[in-house]
C-alpha cells in the first residue's frame, strides 16, 4: 500500500537541458535535491552547451512538453513548479495553457539570453510570456537586463530596480517580482522584491566564484522551498543564502564561465559530519596508542580538513580543542573535536592541500633525530624547513611562517612528503608533522614510527 500522504515534496522544472550540467534542468534538479525535494522535469529544448558557448539547440515539440507536464502532474503530483528556457512562442503558449489547469505555486524565470550571449527565447515569444504566463506566476525572477526589457526602464540603482519591479507586477498581473542584483553594481548583490504591495531587499556580499547557472539555481531554490510550504519571503531568504554559497564553492571546470555548485548546500554539512566522526575515532585510537614520548611541550593536535573546494580557512578544519597533552603516563585529548579548534596545524594542512588536495589530515609530534631517522628507515618521505631561512617579508606577516615552511618543504622534497619537520627557533620548539589523506592514514604512518 502506497503512503497516502507522501513525506517528500515534489517540484517541477519546465526548462532546457544544458549538456555542461551548469544551468537549465540539470542545475534545477541538483537544487531540488539539495533541499530534499523530489525533482520532476519537462524538457523544452536540448542544448549542446559548455562553459564557453551554446553550440546547438533542438527544440522539443510543444505537445511533448505538455505531455511531460501532464504525465507527472497526474500521477505523482506537483507541489510547486518553475519555468526556465522556453525557447519559442509555441512552447510558451502550450505551457501557459497547461499550467492554468493546476493551482500549485509557479516561479517564472524569464530566461532570454545565456551568460555566453546566445538567445534562449525568441524576440516574438517575450510578449506571449508576459501576456499568458506572467498572470499565472507567484513570482517572476528577471535579472537586470530582462527587467529592463520587460519594464522599458533603465536600471542602475536599487531605486530603479524598485520602480521596475513594481511596474512589471502591476502591468502583467504577476503576484510577485524580484529583480536580481547580479548585474547591478555595488559591494553587495542585492535582489529587490515587490510582493503584495510592499518591497523587500535580499542582500549578500558580492563574492568571487562561478556564476553560470545562478539564475536557474536561484529560482529552483525558491521553488523547492515553496514546494515545502515555506512562505515566499522565507523561500527567497534561503535561496539567497544558498546561491551565495553555490557561487563561492563553484567548481572551476571548463574554460569559460564555470558553473555554480548547488550541491554545496548539502555536501558541506554531510562532509562535516564525516570529518568529525573520522577524527573523533582517530583521536581515541591515538590516546590508546599512548605515544607519551612523542607529545611536544606545547601539546599535539590532530586535524582533518573538509575536501576542496570547501576547505578555505581554519573554520573548515576540525581539530582537538585545547590540544592533546601528556597527563601523567597517558596521552589525553583536553577537549572535544571541533571545527576551528586548531590554528597552526590547520594552516599547515590548508597549505599542503594547495599542492596535494587529497592530503587533508595532520598530526604534530615532538621532534627528535631518532624520529626522523626512523621515518626514513621505514620508507616515509621526509622533508624539512629551516625557520632561519624565512624571508623577512614572510616573517613580518602574521601567520605566514607555517604556510611558507610547508611550501618550502614540499618543493624541497620534489614529491609528496609524509613527514615535515623544523628544528625550531628562538622560543619555538622543534616539531615534526605527519601528513596523510585521512586520520587513519596518519595513524598508519605513526604506527610505522612506533614499531
Ligand X SMILES: Nc1ncnc2c1ncn2[C@@H]1O[C@H](COP(=O)(O)OP(=O)(O)OP(=O)(O)O)[C@@H](O)[C@H]1O
Ligand Y SMILES: Cc1ncc(COP(=O)(O)O)c(N)n1
Catalytic residues: 180, 211, 213-216
Choose the contact partner of 204 out of ligand X, ligand Y, none; CB within 5 to 8 A by kind: ligand X
Cβ distance to ligand X smaller for residue 39 or 213? 213
By CB under 6 A, tell whether 62 contacts ligand X: no
Cβ distance to ligand Y smaller for residue 256 or 357? 256
Stretch that binds ligand X, among 57-65, 160-168, 204-212, 278-286 (CB under 6 A): 204-212
Q: What residues line the site for ligand Y (CB under 6 A)?
A: 15-18, 23-24, 47, 49, 84-85, 111, 114-116, 120, 212-213, 215-216
CA distance 245 to 266: 11
Chain-centre distance for alpha carbon 153: 34
Shortest distance (Å) from residue 218 CB to ligand Y: 11
Check if the beta carbon of residue 107 is closer than 8 Å to that of residue 226: yes
Cβ distance to ligand Y smaller for residue 31 or 49? 49
Stretch that binds ligand X, among 47-55, 169-177, 206-214, 304-312 (CB under 6 A): 206-214
By CB under 6 A, tell whether 28 contacts ligand X: no
Cβ distance to ligand Y smaller for residue 30 or 228? 30
By CB under 6 A, tell whether 206 contacts ligand X: yes
By CB under 6 A, tell whether 213 contacts ligand X: yes
Shortest distance (Å) from residue 196 CB to ligand X: 20
CA distance 114 to 395: 47
CA distance 129 to 141: 13
Block residue for cell numbers 516574438: 124
CA distance 434 to 291: 14
Number of residues located near ligand X, criterion CB under 6 A: 23
By CB under 6 A, tell whether 45 contacts ligand X: no
Which residues 6+ apart lie within 8 Å of 273 measured at CB?
none
Check if the beta carbon of residue 305 is closer than 8 Å to that of residue 346: yes
Residues between 157 and 196 that touch ligand X (CB under 6 A)? 180-183, 189, 191
Grid coordinates of 280: 573523533
CA distance 384 to 391: 16
CA distance 227 to 236: 13
Grid coordinates of 286: 591515538
CA distance readout (Å), 4 to 11, 109, 186: 18, 32, 49
Check if the beta carbon of residue 333 is closer than 8 Å to that of residue 320: yes
Grid coordinates of 20: 555542461
Block residue for cell numbers 505551457: 95
By CB under 6 A, tell whether 143 contacts ligand X: yes
Cβ distance to ligand Y smaller for residue 95 or 216? 216
Choose the contact partner of 84 out of ligand Y, ligand X, none; CB within 5 to 8 A by kind: ligand Y
By CB under 6 A, tell whether 204 contacts ligand X: yes
Contact footprint for ligand X (CB under 6 A): 23, 115, 143, 180-183, 189, 191, 204, 206-207, 211-216, 218, 240, 243-244, 247
Amino acid at each position: 500500500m502506497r503512503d497516502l500522504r507522501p513525506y517528500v515534496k515534489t517540484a517541477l522544472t519546465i526548462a532546457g537541458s544544458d549538456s555542461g550540467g551548469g544551468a537549465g534542468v540539470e542545475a534545477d534538479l541538483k537544487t531540488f535535491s539539495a533541499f530534499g525535494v523530489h525533482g520532476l522535469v519537462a524538457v523544452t529544448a536540448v542544448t549542446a552547451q559548455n562553459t564557453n558557448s551554446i553550440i546547438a539547440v533542438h527544440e522539443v515539440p510543444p505537445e511533448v512538453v505538455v505531455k511531460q507536464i501532464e504525465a507527472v502532474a497526474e500521477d505523482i503530483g506537483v507541489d510547486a513548479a518553475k519555468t526556465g528556457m522556453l525557447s519559442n512562442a509555441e512552447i510558451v503558449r502550450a505551457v501557459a495553457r497547461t499550467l492554468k489547469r493546476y493551482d500549485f505555486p509557479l516561479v517564472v524565470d524569464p530566461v532570454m539570453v545565456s551568460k555566453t550571449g546566445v538567445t534562449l527565447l525568441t524576440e516574438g515569444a517575450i510578449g506571449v510570456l508576459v501576456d499568458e504566463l506572467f498572470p499565472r506566476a507567484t513570482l517572476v525572477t528577471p535579472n537586470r537586463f530582462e527587467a529592463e526589457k520587460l519594464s522599458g526602464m533603465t536600471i542602475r540603482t536599487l531605486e530603479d530596480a524598485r520602480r521596475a519591479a513594481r511596474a512589471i507586477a502591476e502591468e502583467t498581473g504577476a503576484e510577485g517580482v524580484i529583480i536580481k542584483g547580479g548585474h547591478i553594481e555595488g559591494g553587495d548583490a542585492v535582489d529587490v522584491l515587490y510582493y503584495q504591495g510592499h518591497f523587500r531587499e535580499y542582500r549578500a556580499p558580492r563574492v568571487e566564484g562561478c556564476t553560470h547557472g545562478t539564475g536557474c539555481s536561484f529560482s529552483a531554490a525558491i521553488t523547492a522551498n515553496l514546494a515545502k510550504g515555506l512562505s515566499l519571503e522565507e523561500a527567497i531568504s534561503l535561496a539567497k543564502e544558498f546561491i551565495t554559497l553555490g557561487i563561492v564553492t563553484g567548481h572551476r571546470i571548463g574554460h569559460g564561465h564555470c558553473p555554480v555548485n548547488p550541491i554545496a548546500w548539502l555536501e558541506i554539512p554531510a562532509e562535516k559530519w564525516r570529518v568529525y566522526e573520522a577524527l573523533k575515532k582517530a583521536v581515541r585510537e591515538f590516546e590508546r596508542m599512548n605515544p607519551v614520548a612523542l607529545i611536544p611541550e606545547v601539546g599535539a593536535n590532530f586535524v582533518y580538513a573538509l575536501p576542496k573546494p570547501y576547505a578555505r580557512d581554519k573554520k573548515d578544519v576540525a581539530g582537538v580543542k585545547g590540544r592533546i597533552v601528556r597527563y601523567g603516563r597517558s596521552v589525553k585529548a583536553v577537549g572535544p573535536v571541533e571545527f576551528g579548534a586548531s590554528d597552526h596545524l590547520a594552516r599547515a594542512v590548508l597549505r599542503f592541500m594547495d599542492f596535494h588536495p587529497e592530503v587533508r589530515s595532520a598530526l604534530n609530534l615532538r621532534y627528535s633525530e631518532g624520529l626522523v631517522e626512523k621515518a626514513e628507515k621505514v620508507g616515509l618521505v621526509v622533508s624539512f624547513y629551516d625557520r632561519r631561512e624565512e624571508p623577512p617579508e614572510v616573517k613580518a606577516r602574521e601567520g605566514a611562517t607555517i604556510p611558507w615552511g610547508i611550501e618550502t618543504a614540499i618543493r624541497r622534497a620534489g614529491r609528496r612528503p609524509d613527514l615535515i619537520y623544523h628544528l625550531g627557533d628562538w622560543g619555538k620548539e622543534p616539531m615534526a608533522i605527519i601528513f596523510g589523506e585521512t586520520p587513519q592514514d596518519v595513524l598508519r604512518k605513526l604506527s610505522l614510527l612506533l614499531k
